[in-house]
Amino acid sequence: MRTISSLSVSAVVVALATSPALAQRPVLPPAVAAIDSTDPVALMVARLDLEKYKATLKGLTQFGDRKQGTKRNRDAVDWIEAQLKSYGCSNTERIIYRYEPPTLAERPATPPPAAAPAAPGQPPLRRVGPPATQASGGGRNRGIRTRTGVNNDSLLQPDPALRALNAEPSVPGERQEVYCTKIGTTHPDEMYIVGAHMDGIGWGEAVNDDGSGTALVMELARVFSNPDVQTERSIRFVLWNNEESGLNGARAYIEQRAKLQGIEEPKGSGKYPEPKWLGMIQHDMMMWDHGMPKADGTMAKEQRPEADVNIEFQINSKMWKASSELAWALHQSNTKYATDYPAQVGPHMTNTDSGPFQDLIPSISLRENERGTQTGSGWNPHWHQPTDVWSTYTDKEFRLGLNAAQTTLGGVGRLAGVTLKPATKM
């Protein structure tokens, strides 16, 4: 893993400022209005579009919560694959595996957390005093905590159509997840993995968890799949399944593909079905940043002024040093390319699909809040709830997700060595 100082893009784009493609560009956001026409990464970031991001996210809502092991989940996988192909990311493939959940008798008993009495109409509260509790990711919970968990009560979903869509239960058996790859021009045998999980739970539409990350990865696949885009190294866009059941889709990918890294197939062809993994970048819950709950358990209605993109690595992983370098590389790309929201780096990555990779390769996760300390303390009241639906969110939330996309596109574009040739489409 190289440090950010050695990751500058090697190629220079010639005559882009006068190309017909640039004349067709939409008006740029104010923060990138003075865009450097010689910087291919900046030009690509400008192709990200809030309305396109929202349209992809809205498209995912037709499949409800996309719970694994259901027809709505399988239909969503098919839809995602069709969208990727429509972008030009046509070399789509699937990981096929089986998921057999443990029986009730095999599951360890988990005592319910202690909860303080709640105000009328509010969920029970848990106040954390000294000593602070320890989150699974290593962070310390401070301040007021509200109850968190998974909603399993269908009657808490007030929309009868959505309630009916989500009614089919999950069954054991075959699972599938889809991915596509941007093939590198000079180093096709090396790649970065960019992922998000497409399954959800809670009797809502799983808009934020994790439609927001899924739409982000699909938008990156769209931009990188433009025929005028070239990268020195390959980039794989993966939409994991079975995250909510225990990161099973990511684990299946590693089990099936890890030993194939860097092997040319067929020999002498210059083709690498599984390029060597250089890093893994996960996106999980990208939009809700309203701050800590109030003392009565309620939340601020508006996004907090200091909302930001959290970039996390796991400090106690075997690859922590290289992972931190990857995190700071994306932090730098946020500073250079994001239009609205800053980024911060934290060492407590946990509970998402980058976890199975963290001892193998540099691995990070982009989020709206720190997973272990903030989301786990109830900063997001819609997490795994019926309220995780389209109507809950505003353009401020959607734009936070778009800024995460700008951050990753900028970082991966520089790492993979992106260049542009005369474009044939936007």
Residue 55 falls within a domain, yes or no?
A: yes
Q: Is residue 107 in a domain?
A: no
- CATH number of the domain at 67, please: 3.40.630.10
Q: Does residue 175 sit within a domain?
A: yes
Domain that holds residue 266: 9-101+117-420
Going edge to edge, which strands form the sheet with 343-346? 93-99, 173-182, 233-240, 187-197, 276-283, 363-367, 309-312, 343-346
Average pLDDT, the chain: 86
| Residue at 111 is within a domain | no
User: What average pLDDT score do residues 13-40 get?
Assistant: 47
Q: What is the pLDDT of residue 422?
A: 76
Instruction: Tell me the per-residue pLDDT of 189-211, one tens digit each, with 9 for 90 and over.
Output: 999 999 999 999 999 999 999 99
Would you place residue 142 in the very low, low, confident or very high pLDDT band (cuts 50, 70, 90)?
low
Is 162 part of any domain? yes
This prediction has a pTM of 0.85
Q: Answer whether residue 174 is part of any domain.
A: yes
The dihedral region occupied by 341, where left means phi > 0, alpha psi between -120 and 50, and beta the remainder, is beta
- Residues 242-301 have pLDDT tens digits of 999 999 999 999 999 999 999 999 999 999 999 999 999 999 999 999 999 988 888 999
Model confidence band, residue 304 (pLDDT cutoffs 50, 70, 90) = very high
Q: Tell me the pLDDT band of 236, cut-offs 50, 70 and 90.
A: very high
Contacts of 199 (CB under 8 A, 6+ apart): 66, 67, 68, 73, 206, 210, 240, 241, 242, 243, 244, 245, 249
Say if strands 309-312 and 343-346 run parallel, antiparallel, or are unpaired: parallel
424 falls in which pLDDT band (50, 70, 90)?
Answer: very low
Q: Which of 92, 95, 83, 63 is nearest to 177 (CA)?
A: 95
pLDDT in tens, 348-397: 999 999 999 999 999 999 999 998 889 988 999 999 999 999 999 999 99
Is 108 within a domain? no
pLDDT recorded at residue 372: 85
User: Does the pLDDT at position 9 exceed 80?
Assistant: no
173, exposed or middle or buried, with CB in 10 Å at 0-12, 13-18, 19+? exposed
The pLDDT-based confidence of 144 (bands split at 50, 70, 90) is low
Q: Is residue 426 part of a domain?
A: no
Structurally, the chain folds into a number of domains equal to 1
How sure is the predictor about 118, in pLDDT bands with cuts at 50, 70 and 90? very low
> In angstroms, rounded to a whole number, what is the distance separating the alpha carbons of residues 275 and 188?
7
Average pLDDT value for residue range 323-330? 98
Distance CA(243)–CA(383), nearest Å, equals 14
- Those residues whose C-beta lies under 8 Å from the C-beta of residue 357, and which sit 6 or more positions away, are 193, 250, 254, 277, 280, 363
What are the CA-CA distances from residue 192 to residues 46, 62, 363, 381, 415 (Å)? 21, 30, 10, 33, 9
